Amino acid sequence: MTGITIEVVNSTPLLVGWYDPNLVDPLGLRTTEIKGIWRWWARAIIGGVLYDEGVLVGVSEGKVVKRPSREEVRLVSYYVGKVLGLGYAGPQGSESSRFIVRTETLSSHLIRRMREEARRSQRPNLLALAGSGREYVPEDAKFRITVQIRSRYGDGESLALKILILALQLSGVGKGSRRGLGSLDVTGVTSLGIRMSYELKEFLDEVYEDASNIVRKYGEGLSSKLVRSRNDRALPPLPVVSKSVIEGINVSGIYVVRGGRNLQDLFHDIRNFFVRSERCRKLYNNRSVCDDELRLKQQAWILGLPRIEIEGVDRRASPLMVSCHSERNIFGGGVFVTITVSGDWPRRLKWLNRGNSKNINVGEADIVSATTTAIKEFKEYVRKSGYALVKVWP
């Protein structure tokens, strides 16, 4: 049984839930958190290759604009679960994950508790925590992630391990992870037989190319059953890591923001893009709540839907994901932003404004338009904040 060891240090406050939402699991970093983001990114990578190949098309039915067909779900699950080894149940049989994941805490005094007086300072406000007494894991806690492998498809498992490292680079873990909380600097990787670039763009190219090879090698007789009929102007039915361009924007784009006095200030400012009052302050020098372009066009829904039932859809996370890394990270420091465009949004939304409401119909063109507005506003927000935005991939 071979394996890989990854040394990580959290660069932002880490909130890993426990039986009480105000408490943190004493382990600090749970294997379930790691497995969750690992599988999500594996689906996005495999889905991106299938989409670019014209295989992942999706269907338009039900209460969402687009979703993957049953056959497409089975195909993605086959590659992710059976070939990459993350666990599979389907027409080709069933098997448990071929990876055994363990986490180990290397720091003492792991957990801190919020105090009311501390909440008024900048850093605790960054936590977006409600109430005094909530626990969290402060920055610079050290952990070791160990993964052991029962090998079956060597190239598939090698790709899976690379995707795990990519997942730790582009997303946080725990509560608030899509906004960068729980970001983990990868400070060391020890493995047997896994070669990888330590330059992020080259590493992403490696992962995408490896995934393309996997799809071609193990997909004979599978993807051929699906109709290769993707319209170049059609959105993927789920978030993917793709090289395609639709209406002038990338289906997926990865950026890094750098600059400023220190990393925590930079992170705080980028997180505040998702708060309308802060966008108004940066974009229009207006400290009160204003109508920015996203609100004027009634497109602010693209930044995410809360847990409120809308036409049977109880939540839809923002397609903008944030992670934050210091210079000790193997891919360098900065705030990394991943933007994905996909059709899995509710067909109908309700816009509420001071007691008034308006029904909004959503189609693929509306999703592209809202994403374009969000990207434009984000770039301007970064510029006026005094930072540099650099495109990493594709």
Q: Do the domain assignments include residue 264? A: yes
Is the Cα dihedral 10, 13, 17, 20 positive or negative? positive
pLDDT score at 131: 46
Angle at 338 between CA 176 and CA 380, to 5 degrees: 100
Whether residue 386 is contained in a domain is answered as yes
212 and 314 in a single domain? The answer is: no
Same-domain pairing of 206 and 119: yes
CA nearest 268: which of 379, 147, 127? Answer: 127
Q: What is the model's pLDDT at position 221?
A: 60
Last residue of a domain, one of 191, 225, 259: 225
269 lies in the same domain as 374:
yes
Same-domain status, 354 and 298: yes
Q: In this structure, are strands 142-149 and 99-105 parallel, antiparallel, or unpaired?
A: antiparallel
Residues 165 and 279 in one domain: no
Element (H or E) spanning 169, and its range?
A: helix 154-170
- Do 210 and 164 sit in the same domain of this protein? yes
Instruction: Give me the number of domains the chain comprises.
Output: 2
Positions of the chain with pLDDT lower than 50, given as ranges: 116-132
Helices (H) and strands (E) in the chain, counts: 9, 16
| Total-model pTM | 0.90
Residue 301: C-alpha distances to residues 97, 180, 248, 360 (Å): 36, 20, 21, 10
Q: Does residue 233 sit within a domain?
A: no
Q: Look at residues 225, 259, 278 and tell me which one is the last residue of a structural domain.
A: 225
Residue 237 in domain: no
Domain range spanning residue 100? Answer: 2-225
d(CA 72, CA 82): 15
Give a yes or no: residue 231 inside a domain: no
Write out pLDDT tens, residues 14-59: 888 777 777 778 888 889 889 999 999 999 999 999 999 999 999 9
The amino acid occupying position 85 is: G
Out of 225, 259, 294, a domain closes at 225
Which pLDDT score is estimated for 132?
47
